[in-house]
Structure 1
Amino acid sequence: MENIKIFINYIAATIEILGCITIFTGVVYSLVKSLVLFYKRKPEPFIELRQTLGKSILLGLEILIAADIIATVVAEPTLESVSILGLIVFIRTIMSLSLQVELEGKFPWQKNKI
């Protein structure tokens, strides 16, 4: 059983690294993309930067939430560890929700206006 815990902790750490790489790659990609748009004199490179960067942060946050859930489930589930996980997931969910509202101008459950 101890070997499984070690293995799953490695998996959780790998997923956390993947989440950080996702955010970092998104930052680099969005900066390069907006600079290209700026030098080509395309309209609104700043808006494109915000959109692309926000989407990469959203994806990275979702990956980090998955890693936290995996790490907490494999550890000894105490009331403290589950409470900390709940707080982390709550904060990251609020961050994701506010980012999505900022990017799309509506809540995820609202229908598109046609």
Structure 2
Amino acid sequence: MPEIVKAVAEWGVSITEITGILIIVGIAFHALVFVPLFLMKHHKTEEIYTQVRQRLGRGILLGLEFLVAADIIHTVAVELTFETVGILAIIVLIRTFLSFTLEVELSGRWPWQKKE
């Protein structure tokens, strides 16, 4: 039975990682190709830059969430050792820091500040 769980978890990890990568690549492609074309008809250059940057940042954040989920699944269901838990902690810490700084950069405020 544990081998079945391990095999299913490995497939789940692979699918989750691929989903995260596809989200980042897909939204980056969309933000860099289609958004500027659409906005060039209606907005100023500064607005195009802001919109592309916002969409790209949101795509990276969403993709990172999937990649963190894949790391957690892999560590808990596939290879649970003290070493992998330590590596997971470091990976989650780094990706959380990246997500936090991206969020601050995109929104222009700290998460605990009210929206204006």
Question: Is the TM value for this pair above 0.5?
Answer: yes
> Contact between 2:6 and 2:78, CA under 8 Å: does it hold in 1?
yes
Match of 1:34 in 2: 36
> Contact between 1:33 and 1:49, CA under 8 Å: does it hold in 2?
yes
2:75 matches 1:64: no
Match of 2:6 in 1: 5
Instruction: Give the secondary structure class of the aligned counterpart of 2:111.
Output: coil
Q: Where do 5+ consecutive residues of structure 2 fail to align?
A: none
> Contact between 1:8 and 1:74, CA under 8 Å: does it hold in 2?
yes
> Contact between 1:19 and 1:61, CA under 8 Å: does it hold in 2?
yes
Alpha-carbon distance between aligned partners in 2 of 1:64 and 1:24, rounded to the nearest angstrom: 13
Q: Deviations over 1:9-49 (max 9, x none)?
A: 101110000000100111011112023213x1512211111
1:76 to 55, 59, 79: 79
Letter of the structure 2 residue corresponding to residue 20 of structure 1? I
Q: Where do 5+ consecutive residues of structure 1 fail to align?
A: none
Match of 1:101 in 2: 104
TM-score between the two structures when normalised by the length of structure 2: 0.90
Alpha-carbon distance between aligned partners in 2 of 1:13 and 1:109, rounded to the nearest angstrom: 34
Instruction: Give the secondary structure class of the aligned counterpart of 1:107.
Output: coil
- Equivalent pairs counted in the alignment come to 112
Root-mean-square deviation over aligned CA pairs: 1.2
Match of 1:15 in 2: 16
Could you list the structure 1 runs, at least 4 aligned residues long, displaced by more than 3 angstroms after superposition.
none
Query: Post-superposition shift, 1:50?
Result: 0.3
